[in-house]
Structure 1
Amino acid sequence: MHITIILRVLGVLLMLFSLTLIPPILVSVLFADENHTAFWIAFLITFVTGLVMWFPVHNIRQDLRTRDGFLITALFWSVLGLFGSLPFIFANGLELSITDAVFESMSGLTTTGATVITGLDDLPKSILYYRQQLQWLGGIGIIVIAVAILPMLGIGGMQLYRAETPGPIKDSKLTPRITETAKVLFLIYSSLTICCGIAYWLAGMSAFDAICHAFSTVAIGGFSTHDASIGYFDSQAIMMICIIFMGISAVNFALHFFAWRERSPFYYFLDPELRFYFMCLCIGAAITIPYLYFSNTYNFTDSFLLGTFELTSILTTTGFGAADFTIWPTFLPFMLFLFAFMGGCAGSTGGGMKVIRVLLICKQGLREINRLIHPNAVIPIKLGKKSVSDRVVEAVWGFFAVYVMAFMVMFLLLLATGLDFITAFSAVGACINNLGPGMGDVAMHYGDINTPAKWILCFAMLLGRLEVFTLLVLMSPVFWRH
């Protein structure tokens, strides 16, 4: 374990993060909301702390080991969540406690979208922009952005990329060098954001709202500048744009890269994970839309639009709202909520267990059924034309088991804090899947739940964002042995 190099990397990353506080300062000056002082204080604290960590060890040159990568990833997301809360603490008019400020910051960076703040329509523009920017940075992953800088410091970045990138297969690269990979990811991500923002603006949003909602849409975040979320705009065009970009952003970014590089959309059709993802969306829509219509909840047009929107928002773990799905009839709220456990595709900005893992679990289940009938048969699991090794399947089942156990433990802890069953169940599910809105007392916001519950849910957000093992591995005694 290289403590000095870990401090050096964290110091650099904190100083880089402090630079992201400059745009909110400019927004504050532009709209004259008098919160620029709060952002300047946060900037100075963050930059000076990073400088103090970096300067004593800045001449040390060592390569990162895998264990260093895990520790830096977990530490930086934790530290960044704390420093990201500073503007919320110092801002005029918010009056958030430290717990609430950390919760809001962690929710933004992990692209969860769970909020403790109400009255968004009356908040200063700089605070609204800052919340959206946090989600945008969290979506691409501040570590993936930073690995483009680390090689210039003499530090290899692949260890960080493996620890940060979601999905069961970590070793695939879009380009031979990790620096180029980070640049490609950033280019795709930025391009999608710009296209989404322009589409929102053309559909009737103000320039400010278009930029802010483009940030949270492509990040699969769900924060909004209005309490009514996307429903505030009361626009079918805006809802359709949101559906399209939520769906695109939940697709593996490697597919976007190869389709763009080869100038061919056929890469999308050949991917088994994407086909399964689209099939789940179609099945969900085939149940939701008719049920809303025949239960007389909405007319057919609203059933189609609102049903498709809420399904896409929840399945991709974005968390935008155009209607209150928690009051929909009978089983629909629970069915939609369970879709969030699958989440988006691996290598996307979506949360949840990832589509590829659910697909492999289904294939493994079918293989076990076939083995009961043909005990001596050799039945490989295939994704497309490629066989999946048993080691990968074992890893997926291990992930699933730990995911469920972590969920159960945090669910029981929330019940112990006094939350009711539905609130506790949905709060843990919404946070570990980085969804945001839950059911019960957390359907609209998390401001009314108790303080211990909020800290538990902060841990759940981190656990979901770092895909369980990256965080839990630090709790293993083996990790700390020489």
Structure 2
Amino acid sequence: MKLSNVLNALGIILVAFGTILLTPIVVALVEHEYSSVLPFITAASTSIGLGLLFQKYGGFSRNFDDLKRNEGLLIVSLAWIVTAAMGAIPYLFYGLSPLDAYFESVSGITTTGATILTDFSLYPKDFFFWRSLSQWLGGMGIIVLFVAILPQFAVAGRQIFFAEAPGPTEEKVTPRITHTAKALWLVYLLLTLLEIFCLAAAGMPLFDATCNALSTMAAGGFSPNPLSIMGYESSTVTWIITCFMFLAGSNFALQYRFLIQGKPLPLLKNEEFHFYTSIVLFVSVCLCIALLLDGTATFLDAVRDSLFQIVSIITTAGFSSADFALWSVTAQTILFTVMLVGGCAGSAGGGIKVIRVLFGLKYLKREITQIIHPKAVLPIKIDHKSVAEDIQRQILGFLLFYLVLMTFSALLVTIIEGDAAVGIVGTAATIGNIGPGYGEIGPMGSFGGLSILTKIIFILNMIVGRLELIPFLAMLHPDFWNFRR
């Protein structure tokens, strides 16, 4: 591993991120919140200064053509950790402790949506704008953004692009990775603007429409309204956000082919998309029936809220149209099942990902068949293509480590908090980047009352979950840390 490559890449990213940190100042000036200018100038200056310092020690090199895989993995991991630290600086000016500020920033940039805030009236609009914007930046990926806009990563972008989103397949829509990154961000931006327009047309204030749209397309779920989407008391708004959350959980590369290239068949024939849609519809019907049997909602409200909450949880958006922490155990259990699924590969959603769940089911089906027919050759196919052995091994390894990490984290938090619900659901919500859970960390609750150790564990969960474990696991091997000049 060449340390100069790591320092230079991080330095370039921090300088660019520091520039982005200046954008909330526009909101502060428009809203006459002049006291809020200083926090973001401080954060931007710190990020740019640290970035230049990294580049100085790295020799100000712009050549990353020989970037190695372990260097790419380390750059991505450190980029998320350090940019979250820079993004936390403004929160310190609003009375948050360093740990709470970092928790809030990590939650935003990993699109988790968990919050330690309790009284939203204490904070100005630029605070909520930055919280929403940080989610939007993290939704498509910090690295994907900088690969798209920074020419220095034109060649090396491939290593860090796929290190940030190490799904079971490498999805490209154009031959060059920089063009792919730009294509993905184009779809992301257009859908965000369209949602802002739709929400504003539905009567939502423009500022709220902007923040909610940024959070929706990022599958982040943080709303400037303390009651989330329920606080707007509008069925139209709820249905609009449901539709855009569903898109946020779908593969953006396939949406690019549909919306920009005019090729709908790749999306409509995609097996993962079919399975994703089927899960949403089937589990929504089950939840709707549970709500009706409990007598907690009318038929129309049950249909709307069940579909909204299932889409919100499976895409890991974490919005709420109702306080599902008050629902029956049956309804909460149905919600918990989709916490373990996540969005599609190549989407803004977190979690295990639909494609891995689909593969896991096909793998189990093959194993059962081979008990009866031990000599049969039964390749696992997705979209009529056989899944390569190395990809199968990668997916199975991911599923195993995901389960181990979730179990270990849940047990540890349960011991610390003395509450199994916080331990199990909180772990699933943070590793899956979902956000709210049940009880005190429910949709109308806060993570602020948790212990220091629990917050640290959940911070780690959010980062590792957003990076889909691979960079974290690679760092556990001693050979990863072989540095060279």
TM-score of the two chains, using structure 2 as the length reference: 0.96
**1:457 is matched with which residue?**
458
Instruction: Give how far 1:318 is off.
Output: 0.4
| Residue of structure 2 equivalent to 1:370 | 369
Equivalent residue, structure 2, for 1:468: 469
Pick closer, same or farther for the CA change 1:302–1:474 going to 2, 3 Å.
Answer: same
Distance across 1 between alignment mates of 2:151 and 2:22: 25
Q: What amino acid maps onto 2:291 in structure 1? A: L
What's 1:14 paired with? 14
* Cα distance in 2 between the residues matched to 1:211 and 1:298: 30
Give the Cα separation in 1 of the matches to 2:129 and 2:206.
12
- What stretches of structure 1 of length at least 5 have no aligned partner? none
String of CA shifts for 1:75-124, please: whole Å, max 9, x gaps. Answer: 1101111111000012xxx3111110000000000000000012224420
Aligned partner letter, 1:32: H
Q: Deviations over 1:28-86 (max 9, x none)?
A: 11112221111111111111111111134114634211111000000110111111100
Shift of 1:340: 1.6
SS in 2 for 1:85: helix
What does residue 231 of structure 1 align with? Answer: 230
Q: For 1:59 and 1:478, how far apart are their aligned partners in 2?
A: 25
Amino acid at match of 2:262: R
| Structure 1 CA distance for aligned equivalents of residues 408 and 420 of structure 2 | 14
The one-letter code matched in structure 1 to 2:110 is T
For 1:294-443, what aligned pairs fall within 5 Å after superposition? 294-443=293-442
Deviation at 1:156, TM superposition (A): 1.7
Instruction: Tell whether the 8 Å contact from 1:136 to 1:215 is kept in structure 2 after alignment.
Output: yes
Taking only aligned residues, the RMSD between alpha carbons, in angstroms, comes to 1.4
After TM superposition, the structure 1 = structure 2 runs for residues 186-197 of structure 1, keeping only pairs within 5 Å, are 186-197=185-196
Q: Which amino acid is the alignment partner of residue 182 of structure 2?
A: K
Question: Secondary structure in 1 aligned to 2:329?
Answer: coil
**8 Å Cα contact 2:195-2:244 kept in structure 1:** yes
> Equivalent of 1:68, from 67, 71, 75?
71
CA distance in 1, matches of 2:152, 2:482: 30
Structure 1 residue 270: deviation in Å?
0.5
Contact kept in structure 1, 2:8 and 2:61, CA below 8 Å: no
- Cα distance change on mapping 1:230 and 1:469 into 2, 3 Å: same
Tell me if the contact between 1:115 and 1:447 (Cα under 8 Å) persists in the aligned partners.
yes
Cα distance in 1, alignment partners of residues 295 and 62 from structure 2: 68
State the percentage of identical aligned residues: 38
Match of 1:86 in 2: 89
Distance (whole Å) between structure 1 residues aligned to residue 466 and residue 209 of structure 2: 26
Which amino acid in the other structure matches residue 327 of structure 2?
A: W
1:124-139 → structure 2 map (5 Å cutoff):
124-139=124-139
Q: Per-residue deviation at 1:441?
A: 2.2
Alpha-carbon distance between aligned partners in 2 of 1:74 and 1:8, rounded to the nearest angstrom: 15
SS at match of 2:475: helix
Distance 2:207 2:294 in 1: 38
Cα shift at 1:390: 2.6
One-letter amino acid of the counterpart of residue 72, structure 1? I
Residue of structure 2 equivalent to 1:25: 25
Contact kept, 8 Å, 2:211 with 2:224, in 1: the verdict is yes
CA distance in 2 between counterparts of 1:154 and 1:300 reads 53
Task: Please say which of residues 35-44 and 190-199 is displaced more in the overlay.
Answer: 35-44
Report the AA paired with residue 477 of structure 1.
P
Unaligned 5+ segments in structure 2 are none
Contact 1:422 1:440 survives alignment (8 Å): yes
Aligned residue-pair number: 478
Corresponding residue of 2:446:
445
**8 Å contact from structure 1 (residues 133, 212) kept in 2:** yes
Q: Is the 8 A contact 2:166 2:470 kept in 1?
A: no
CA 1:155/1:55 → structure 2, altered by over 3 Å: closer, same or farther?
farther
Contact 2:147-2:154 at 8 Å conserved across structures: no
